[in-house]
Amino acid sequence: MKISSAHIEKSNHILFRILVLAAVMTTIPILISVIADAIKVEAQSPGIDASNVYETKSMDLGNNVQNVVILIPNEGHESQNIGDQSADQRHINQPYVPQSVTVPKGTNIVWFNGDADHDHKITLTGQDNNLNNMIFDSDVFAFNTVSQPVVLNDTGSFGYYEADVNNEDTDYIMNGTINVVDQSTSSTITTGNKTDQSSANIDTVGTLMVPTEDLSTYTSDIETGGISVLSTHNFNDIRSGDPQTLITWGTSSGTNSLESIVSQLEGITSTLPYS
């Protein structure tokens, strides 16, 4: 029996539609999985989004967090009071990054000094924010080093500060807040990267500021050390408008000890153009 060309063409159209449908049916689950993973990661870690940290100057950490590394950014000692001569010498909009952090009680907190050629000291006060009610004194620690740690086991809001940091604005005080809660409102933080840590919860979190033009280099350095880049936010610095990037990072203490993490940060910070 002779098959007409029209019949062949119709059969080819049907076959093509079947193949397209099969391809779509195969792709849809993959797309759904990718979208679901992205939503899951965002839902799990809203408090550590770099854009949120920059805009709100705060970070709300998950219940699994054991260590927080608060950054003292370069030029963080410069005045933030509008009209002061040194107010336009800062890079970022907060003297500590984050300036306010919410953590579950028992979290280990340290400050990393990224303020080139400037020593710093952290004084932590009680819930009444009375500067005379000191409950922790870090002692002086130099640029590119970390403070002594503090662990707060009582819930409440604790202020920390450093005075006498600016010769041009002697009234300027660097200050921040630590909110300690029984249980954080944020969910468990996990890494979205398909690395060896993909199944490990992140229990150590911090921030870093780098020039945007060198972001890929510093991102590679961070990840080579076994630390995950959780999110980034680009902004123009206050000093000259140069593009900078705020990075929120995280890792597992089972993979990297806090001492190892600090060592990696010291290696990165020493290569930043700020120093």
Phi, psi of 227 (to 5 degrees): -105, 140
- Contacting residues for 40 by C-beta, under 8 A, at least 6 apart: none
Instruction: Count CB-CB contacts under 10 A for residue 83.
Output: 7
Is 59 among the domain residues? yes
What is the pTM for the complete model shown? 0.79
Mean pLDDT of the chain: 81
CA distance 251 to 48: 13
Is 247 among the domain residues? yes
Is 20 among the domain residues? no
Domain count for the chain, please give it.
Answer: 1
Is 104 among the domain residues? yes
DSSP string, 77-97: TS--STT-TTGGG-SSS-SSB
Token readout for 228 is 């995950």
CA distance 96 to 111: 9
User: Partners of 101 in the beta sheet?
Assistant: 59, 178
- CATH number of the domain to which 251 belongs: 2.60.40.420
Token readout for 202 is 């992140």
Burial of 94 (0-12, 13-18, 19+ CB in 10 A): buried
Is 22 among the domain residues? no
Token readout for 125 is 């006060």
CA distance 242 to 237: 5
Residue span of the structural domain in which 99 resides: 46-269
Where residue 254 falls among pLDDT bands split at 50, 70, 90?
confident
Is 194 among the domain residues? yes
> Which pLDDT tens digit goes with each residue over 189-240?
655 443 333 335 789 999 999 999 999 999 999 999 889 999 999 999 988 8
Establish how many alpha carbons lie within 13 A of residue 150's alpha carbon, considering only the half-sphere containing its beta carbon: 23
Judge whether 174 and 162 are in contact, CB under 8 Å.
Answer: yes
Residue with structure tokens 């970070």?
59
Is 32 among the domain residues? no
Is 66 among the domain residues? yes
Across the beta sheet with 228-236, what order do the strands follow?
A: 150-151, 108-113, 67-72, 204-211, 243-251, 228-236
CA distance 190 to 193: 9
Judge whether 254 and 199 are in contact, CB under 8 Å.
Answer: no
Residue with structure tokens 């500590």?
96
Q: Is the pLDDT of residue 22 over 70?
A: no
- What average pLDDT score do residues 74-80 get? 83
> Which pLDDT tens digit goes with each residue over 112-168?
999 999 999 999 998 666 667 789 999 999 999 999 999 999 999 999 999 888 777
Judge whether 207 and 53 are in contact, CB under 8 Å.
Answer: yes
CA distance 252 to 191: 10
